[in-house]
Amino acid sequence: MIITIIGVGLIGGSIALALKDNNFSTKIIGVDQSAENISKALELGIIDQSLELKEAIKISDLIIISIPVNVTTNVLHQVMDNISYNTVVTDVGSTKREICHSIIEHPKRKNFVASHPIAGTEHSGPQAALRDLFINKFGIICDQEKSSDFALKTVENMYRALQMKLVYMDSASHDLHIAYVSHLSHISSFALGVTVLEKEKDESTIFNLAGSGFESTVRLAKSSPEMWSPIFEQNSENISEALSQYIKQLENFKSYIDNKEFSKCFQVMTEANEIRRVLDGISKGVLEKRS
């Protein structure tokens, strides 16, 4: 299978490495606006060849769009307008509703499978690609009923080759759930990073005291603003709802501390510990079923 990956950064590069390792592809073509990214991807053996988009489309069996969500829609339409009726297209963006809505009336809509692999790091670029990034993680497929059986099976097989577990949901539900479990955590990390940096201006020794807890909590603040700002824009309604709930919890915690109601702090922390059971269950479970 000849695969074109549009955007050979962390996610696109990691997909390429894993699919090559698992012999899912016979050739991987890279397309990227950054000549530096293409050069690095070729140097690292992530891709086999670089082509212009129109040339890549002509010879590809599967096209994977792995670029910021604010430019995905335009590129998706370019791709869909030029593919043959046997070419499958998927994207791996962190928002789905707007992308799916933009393509709903396209005559080749059934060739497209909306998807989102839940994996990543705070690093970016092809040099950050990891061949084992997706193992035992979850891959979400959205609005699967709008895709042909052939296109759906192709993308399902791709995710299984990445050794991912599959989950199915509609695109609106995806954006709501991801706002809570992904987008909110990134905003929290960005906000914490800015808060500590502001304090550090007055107390320059503060980072000397930062331990592993701070490092793990603020890790996501190193993520690319070019990628995350469009995500926040496209999913702003759901993110705003999630932020309201989160801010309410922070205000409650502040009130308990201000009023020295530490038994209530203890109660909140005990309730929060329940997340351990949930996460342990997710890591052990297999949710491969269609809604």
For residue 286, what pLDDT band results from cuts at 50, 70 and 90? very low
44-48, 126-130, 201-205, 262-266: segment of lowest average pLDDT: 201-205
Choose the final residue of a domain: 110, 145, 169. Answer: 169
For residue 283, what pLDDT band results from cuts at 50, 70 and 90? low
Residues 122 and 218 both lie in one domain: no
Residues 158 and 178 both lie in one domain: no
pLDDT at 291: 42
Interatomic CA distance for residues 38 and 8, integer angstroms = 7
289, part of any domain: no
290, part of any domain: no
For residue 229, what pLDDT band results from cuts at 50, 70 and 90? very high
Choose the final residue of a domain: 117, 149, 169. Answer: 169
Residues 14 and 137 both lie in one domain: yes
pLDDT at 274: 86
Name the pTM for this structure. 0.86
CATH number at residue 221: 1.10.3660.10
For residue 281, what pLDDT band results from cuts at 50, 70 and 90? low
Question: What is the 3 state secondary structure string of the chain?
Answer: CEEEEECCCHHHHHHHHHHHHCCCCCEEEEECCCHHHHHHHHHCCCCCEECCHHHHHHHCCEEEECCCHHHHHHHHHHHHHHCCCCCEEEECCCCCHHHHHHHCCCCCHHHEEEEEEECCCCCCCHHHCCCCCCCCCEEEEECHHHCCHHHHHHHHHHHHHCCCEEEEECHHHHHHHHHHHHHHHHHHHHHHHHHHHHHHCCCCCHHHHCCHHHHHHHHHHHCCHHHHHHHHHHCHHHHHHHHHHHHHHHHHHHHHHHCCCHHHHHHHHHHHCHHHHHHHHHHHCCCCCCC
pLDDT at 288: 44
Range of the domain at 57: 2-169
119, part of any domain: yes
State pLDDT tens for residues 176-213.
999 999 999 999 999 998 988 888 776 667 677 767 77
Residues 164 and 251 both lie in one domain: no
277, part of any domain: yes
Domain count for the chain, please give it.
2
Q: Is the pLDDT of residue 282 over 60?
A: no
pLDDT at 205: 73
For residue 228, what pLDDT band results from cuts at 50, 70 and 90? very high
Choose the final residue of a domain: 121, 152, 169. Answer: 169
Residues 52 and 36 both lie in one domain: yes
State pLDDT tens for residues 64-98.
999 999 999 999 999 999 999 999 999 999 999 99
Residues 267 and 163 both lie in one domain: no
Instruction: Please give the single-letter amino acid code of residue 291.
Output: S
